[in-house]
Structure 1
Amino acid sequence: MDFRLLLPAVVVWSVTAAGLLASSATTIGLAVGAGAIAVVGTGACVMGRIGWETIGLVVVAAGLAAMCATSLSLRQEARADHPLRAESGKATVVMTLRGDPTPVGGPRTGRARVRVDVEQVGARPVPEAPAELMGDARAWLGLLPGQRVVAVVRVRPPPDHSLLVASLTAQEPRTVGGPPAYELGAGAIRERLRTVAARGLGPESAGLLPGLVLGDESALDEQLREDFRDAGLSHLTAVSGSNFAIVCGAALLVVRSVGVPPRVAAIAGLVVIVGFVILVRPSPSVLRAALMGAVGVLALFTSRRAQSFPALGAAVVGGLLWWPELALQPGFALSVAATCAIVIWAPRLRDRLRQWRCPPGVAEVIAMAVTAQVVTAPIVVAVTGRFSVVGIVANVLVAPVVAVISVVGTLAALIGAIGPPDGPGALVAELLIRALAPELWWMVWCARTLGGVSWASVDVPSPFD
């Protein structure tokens, strides 16, 4: 294993988290301190006082930490000086949606949340800055990322430990600009998949399929959502690194099978990842999943575990530099922990299971499910206060159908968007989706059976209570 990027990744993560949790003055201090360490270390190497092989990793880690802290400090300063911070009460705001509006607390509450970039307050243009908006679900659901809207909002202070400039409660929006063409296309694909799934499947499976394929949980049954959570399967209904690894891996297998050179195949893989990010929306969780999925694809196709760990370290550093708020998101920590477990311990457990005469495919599935569940369990308990007793069994049982649903479902989504809703494309997509009915039934049955029992998940008392 090559652990050289472990120290830089840990340092960047720690500095980013500390900067978000502390004041901007602390962030500046971290930037100055880390920069001083990098400069002193570089100078010592240049003067021959110490060898690069001894202190090089420390210099790199300190330099990245200084860069990260400086970038974060500049964002915190821009956040503090933004004109919207001085607003109170109501204001008319022009903003651009940066994600799909999602129901809050289920569809019965009638509320939706979405992340926006504020561009104008009243008649005054302001520096573009992120904010969190809450509004009536009937008015906001259906809007697409990239759309510009104007609405009267009530301005409140933003959540702690974030780079948002405000929390907004909005009235009915008025659109003043359409989304980019690629977002319009992605929205059409998502909508067509929901439509075709509703025609070809029962209500539960029809609501589940878009979540498994594109992370679209808008039609997911609330009781089934709870069963998935209690069974430790909720990560499957949101876009995760495994989605990227499966879909991009299948695309690369097809490309490589026709004799495409490795470098061209790598470019094709990059194109597929970018396209998939657009399709499932470039939110913070999706960007995190794309980074982790890229690591999974690298591990799968190079068959060199020693190269996977440096790639994971690079993904962590790059993700935190691009989106610092990932440092405090549980989903990011879960992805990193699960990937580490799969890269380091899953192969060893797989080999041990094969020594015990376990079939190779079954050994691979069990090893990945067990290591990921065991390593991420403490994080899940710390965040939710609950532990899924049946999580490992449930993930092992559904693992054989996850890849089939992901690949065939994505293919059906792309084909179904071709032509009118009753055209040949939609018909082919419906046939593909109907073919997934047994796999979806199996997944629903596992979630209902394992997550529906009273002891499926148990409360774990916090040591800090």
Structure 2
Amino acid sequence: MTHGDLRVLLAAAAWWLSTVVALLEGMGLVVTVVVAAAGATLVTSMALGHANRGRLLRFWMPTLLVVAVAMLCAAGVTAAHDHAARSGILADLASARATATIRGTVASYPNPAGERVLRRLRVETVEGRGQVSRAHASVMLLGDEELSRLNLDETIIVDVRLEPQGRASREIAWATVIGRATVVEPAGPLSRWIAVRSSYMMGHLADETPQVQGLVPGLAIGDDSRIPEDRGEALAAVNLTHLTAVSGAHVSMVCAIALALVGRRRRLLSVAVAGGVLFSLIVATGAQPSVMRAGVMGVVVLGAVWLRRPSSALPALGVSIVVLLALEPTLALAYGFVLSVVSTAAIIAWARPAAGLLAPLVTIPGANLLAVPLVAHVACAPIILLLTDTASVWSALANALVAPVVPAGTVFALCALLLAGTPAGPILAWLAARCVSWIDIVAGSVSQWPGSGIDGRLVLALYAAILFSSWLIVSRGVRRLWIAAAAVGVAASRLVSPAMGEWTVIQCDVGQGAATLFRLDGRIFLVDTGPSDGRLEDCLQRARARVDVLILTHLHADHAGNLDGALRHGVAEVWVGPGMTDPVAQLGVTVPIIERSAGDSEFGVDTLWPDRHVPCYDESCENNQSLVVRANVGQTLLVTGDIERETQQMLARRDIAADIVLIPHHGSPNQDESFAQSVGAATALLSYGDNTYGHPAPSTIDLYAAFGAILATAEGDIVLHIDGSEEVPAGVGY
């Protein structure tokens, strides 16, 4: 790497860091830091120059100047984008949670979230509260299946209810559809042509399984909206979801094919054709962050081909970072963009050395297959752990097993799309289907192996130990080899994290708190999170659960203390009681927050209490405002939060019968006998840990024992598997 290459990378890193700081704290902090650093550097330079020792600083001075200019430019560009996004009335309407009519362009493929669908919309104009203005921001549309029928790049008008997102979010607001979206302008010619081709291709795949029908367009243009939920979870479990996020590998293959067909001798023509194909791919994928990053890198490489100059991957990556963050600063905190950049940098820098280390262990071909997923996982693991706590020991092997078919599958899928409707279309679609069938088989099988769904930190430690052991073997250090073997043995011994097997309801052992997990009609619900001690994540890991809906009964620390941990497990929406939206939003929740009150019913979950919002000024009132829900999971389950005697007496006069009940308030003595009698549960769950409150009270145990069995979390999770009329409980009884 030359000094010029290093300068480009440092400038890109400085631009990225400055963008993040400007997004979170504002431009002023960046300017202050740069000015302070420049002053300190100037003083140091003068002092060293006076002592005739300033040669090293003078050598680095141009690079420091480039870094400072990059930081100031990034801060200025970010501030300009933020000002443009918040000009007009869109931001104000979102802050007020108002309804509005918006006009904009569909900018992403559908993203299913339970029975709802998410789509990104670039807003052009907004009308609300008697005002109309232009907008220069995006919102995330949340609606029903009707949104899936909209084509990419179509311009629509739709009535929505707005809710603000965080300051650094890529979209300025959530926009829940409250009317029918009307298409006012069709998509552009290229987008319409791709939509028609995609429709023909799906016709060719009509006889294939649903997972194959979902994977082929995912592999071709990154449209993963048709992948069934369980297959998507299997892909995620073994880190294969990147195959449906068009990025560097797709761009490389597409450009290589274009250059091969045209030939490199006619440089201008070959670069123009490859550039046109690259632009079409970006449009076809909806400008996903990963493909944008790869696209800019591709443009840099094509520019080098045109100028007959050698191209270097790392500086091209640096240029792509600067260009994309200048165009859209909010990408700096977008997980897709961050993962794309980090994995690309790791593969460029470490893949070849890692392959050299692994070759003595698994042969050269095996090393070439394993090195890329190994180093990508090690580099991305700290970021992935922010999204999910679980990973698979076998993710590198899964990537290696599918690697031989991915290039062919990508080419066949793209050609099947381009030639759909022609005699060659069905043949190409069939060939693409055979390739993705293997990917589906690998994902479905490997995700069920022992070692999948375990603590992601252990997988990271194991992969790092494998690379370290390979280095010791290559360096022929026998003593160090024994040390490495011991390290791998320790890491492997910690991988024992037994799954719970089949379950319907789990009362997680979170100590002195409560967290109830249950399945209903293909969704996973979590009621409360327990305290912030991390035990919830252990329970979700053993259950291999990705939460769809989080229900917060109330905001006491023993029920909502581990909110961040729960949100890392795929929560699509949060349910709260009346008047609790703002307090929950202030805790950093960015997914939709939905208020529930008595009489509401959705996804088969009935809300029984509270009737309305009541301002509270003490803990007892907050306990009595706990959200109470009931669900039929084969047997009826009643989750009660911390309701006390007064609320229990009111509910006792209503229909609250249930087969399984979570005893209110961890078994406190403040219980109402008529409530327990009205519930009449044959199984009572008791969630508590070490405490000074006297929970559970002996009188409460006697009260609920009169109606059936009591299972407690004192010794671990309570697991109920309900199959028809069969109930298989596990836990500690009284």
The residue aligned with 2:274 is 269
Q: CA deviation at 1:163?
A: 5.7
Structure possessing the higher relative contact order (Cα contacts under 8 Å, 6 or more residues apart) = 1
The question of whether the paired residues in 2 share the 8 Å contact of 1:245 and 1:296 is answered with no
The question of whether the paired residues in 1 share the 8 Å contact of 2:122 and 2:139 is answered with yes
For residues 264 and 148 of structure 1, do their structure 2 counterparts lie closer, same or farther at Cα, with a shift above 3 Å needed?
closer
Alignment partner of 1:198: what SS?
coil
Separation of aligned partners in 2, 1:390 and 1:384: 16
The residue aligned with 1:320 is 325
The question of whether the paired residues in 1 share the 8 Å contact of 2:413 and 2:429 is answered with yes
User: Are 2:121 and 1:115 equivalent residues in the alignment?
Assistant: yes
The residue aligned with 2:444 is 448
The residue aligned with 1:403 is 407
User: Are 2:185 and 1:177 equivalent residues in the alignment?
Assistant: yes
Q: CA deviation at 1:152?
A: 1.9
The residue aligned with 1:434 is 430
User: Are 2:23 and 1:20 equivalent residues in the alignment?
Assistant: yes
Q: Deviations over 1:392-418 (max 9, x none)?
A: 1000110010000111211111011xx
Amino acid at match of 1:93: T
Matched residue count: 444
Alignment partner of 1:146: what SS?
coil
Alignment partner of 1:96: what SS?
strand
Amino acid at match of 2:387: V
TM-score by length of 1: 0.84
User: Are 2:354 and 1:349 equivalent residues in the alignment?
Assistant: yes
For residues 197 and 292 of structure 1, do their structure 2 counterparts lie closer, same or farther at Cα, with a shift above 3 Å needed?
farther
The question of whether the paired residues in 2 share the 8 Å contact of 1:232 and 1:390 is answered with no
The question of whether the paired residues in 2 share the 8 Å contact of 1:35 and 1:63 is answered with no
Separation of aligned partners in 2, 1:376 and 1:300: 31
For residues 458 and 18 of structure 1, do their structure 2 counterparts lie closer, same or farther at Cα, with a shift above 3 Å needed?
same
Q: CA deviation at 1:274?
A: 0.8
Amino acid at match of 2:318: G
The question of whether the paired residues in 2 share the 8 Å contact of 1:34 and 1:65 is answered with yes
Amino acid at match of 1:434: W
The residue aligned with 2:609 is none
Separation of aligned partners in 2, 1:410 and 1:143: 22
Q: Deviations over 1:42-69 (max 9, x none)?
A: 9x9xxx9989743111111211211110
For residues 375 and 84 of structure 1, do their structure 2 counterparts lie closer, same or farther at Cα, with a shift above 3 Å needed?
closer
The residue aligned with 2:11 is 8
The residue aligned with 1:251 is 258
Which residue, 228, 231, 236 being the options, matches 2:238?
231
Q: CA deviation at 1:224?
A: 1.1
Q: CA deviation at 1:104?
A: 3.3
Separation of aligned partners in 2, 1:62 and 1:247: 37
RMSD (Å), alpha carbons: 3.5
The question of whether the paired residues in 1 share the 8 Å contact of 2:190 and 2:280 is answered with no
User: Are 2:218 and 1:196 equivalent residues in the alignment?
Assistant: no
The residue aligned with 1:97 is 105
Which residue, 393, 397, 404 being the options, matches 2:397?
393
Separation of aligned partners in 1, 2:305 and 2:412: 20
User: Are 2:149 and 1:142 equivalent residues in the alignment?
Assistant: yes
The question of whether the paired residues in 2 share the 8 Å contact of 1:41 and 1:59 is answered with no
Higher helix share: 1
Q: Deviations over 1:253-308 (max 9, x none)?
A: 3333xx53445433332222111111111244432343356679899999x99811
1:27-426 matches, within 5 Å, as 27-31=27-31, 34=34, 53-87=59-93, 88=96, 90-100=98-108, 102-106=110-114, 109-122=115-128, 124-162=131-169, 164-170=171-177, 171-199=179-207, 201-256=208-263, 259-262=264-267, 264-291=269-296, 307-352=312-357, 358-359=363-364, 361-416=365-420, 421=421, 425=422
The question of whether the paired residues in 2 share the 8 Å contact of 1:366 and 1:396 is answered with yes
Q: Deviations over 1:221-244 (max 9, x none)?
A: 211111111111111122222221
Amino acid at match of 2:316: A
For residues 312 and 188 of structure 1, do their structure 2 counterparts lie closer, same or farther at Cα, with a shift above 3 Å needed?
same
Amino acid at match of 1:386: T
Separation of aligned partners in 2, 1:336 and 1:114: 22
Amino acid at match of 2:30: L
Q: Would you identify which runs of 4 or more consecutive aligned residues in structure 1 move more than 6 Å?
A: 35-42, 48-52, 295-302, 461-464
Considering only CA atoms, is the larger Rg found in Structure 1 or Structure 2?
2
Alignment partner of 1:132: what SS?
strand
Q: CA deviation at 1:150?
A: 2.0
Amino acid at match of 1:245: S
For residues 190 and 65 of structure 1, do their structure 2 counterparts lie closer, same or farther at Cα, with a shift above 3 Å needed?
farther
Separation of aligned partners in 1, 2:269 and 2:58: 35
Separation of aligned partners in 2, 1:375 and 1:269: 31
Amino acid at match of 2:407: A
The question of whether the paired residues in 2 share the 8 Å contact of 1:415 and 1:428 is answered with yes
Amino acid at match of 2:145: R
Q: Deviations over 1:363-386 (max 9, x none)?
A: 432322322222222321233222
The residue aligned with 2:539 is none
The question of whether the paired residues in 2 share the 8 Å contact of 1:244 and 1:294 is answered with no
For residues 29 and 127 of structure 1, do their structure 2 counterparts lie closer, same or farther at Cα, with a shift above 3 Å needed?
farther
Q: CA deviation at 1:446?
A: 0.7
Q: CA deviation at 1:431?
A: 0.6
Q: CA deviation at 1:149?
A: 2.1
Deviates more, 1:291-300 or 1:451-460: 291-300
Q: CA deviation at 1:118?
A: 3.8
The question of whether the paired residues in 2 share the 8 Å contact of 1:99 and 1:116 is answered with yes
Separation of aligned partners in 2, 1:440 and 1:177: 35
Separation of aligned partners in 1, 2:406 and 2:300: 19
Higher strand share: 2
